[in-house]
C-alpha cells in the first residue's frame, strides 16, 4: 500500500513540478489518519472490533488497561 502512494508522488513529480505540493499534503493527511487508526486500535486493545457494540449492564471502560 505504501508503494501505491509513493508511486503517486513519483508520477506527479515526473509529470509536473507544480503539482507536487498537493500530493505531499495528501500523503501527510493519509499518514496522519493511519497513525490515528493505529492509536485507536492500540487504545482499545482486546476490545477492538470492526463494530461498535454497547453491551447492556456492562461498565464502560474509562482508562487503558495495563
Would you say the C-alpha torsion 33, 34, 37, 42 has a positive or negative sign?
negative
pTM strictly above 0.85: no
**Distance (Å, whole) CA 26 – CA 51:** 27
**Ranges assigned E (strand) in the chain:** none
Per-residue pLDDT of the chain (66 residues; tens, 9 = 90+): 678 878 877 777 777 666 567 767 887 898 899 999 999 999 988 888 887 777 888 887 777 766
**Distance (Å, whole) CA 36 – CA 15:** 32
* CA distance from start to end of the chain: 32
Amino acid at each position: 500500500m505504501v508503494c501505491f502512494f509513493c508511486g503517486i508522488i513519483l508520477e506527479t513529480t515526473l509529470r509536473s513540478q507544480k503539482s507536487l505540493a498537493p500530493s505531499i499534503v495528501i500523503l501527510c493527511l493519509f499518514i496522519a489518519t493511519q497513525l490515528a487508526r493505529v492509536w485507536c486500535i492500540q487504545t482499545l486493545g482486546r476490545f477492538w472490533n470492526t463494530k461498535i457494540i454497547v453491551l447492556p449492564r456492562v461498565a464502560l471502560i474509562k482508562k487503558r488497561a495495563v
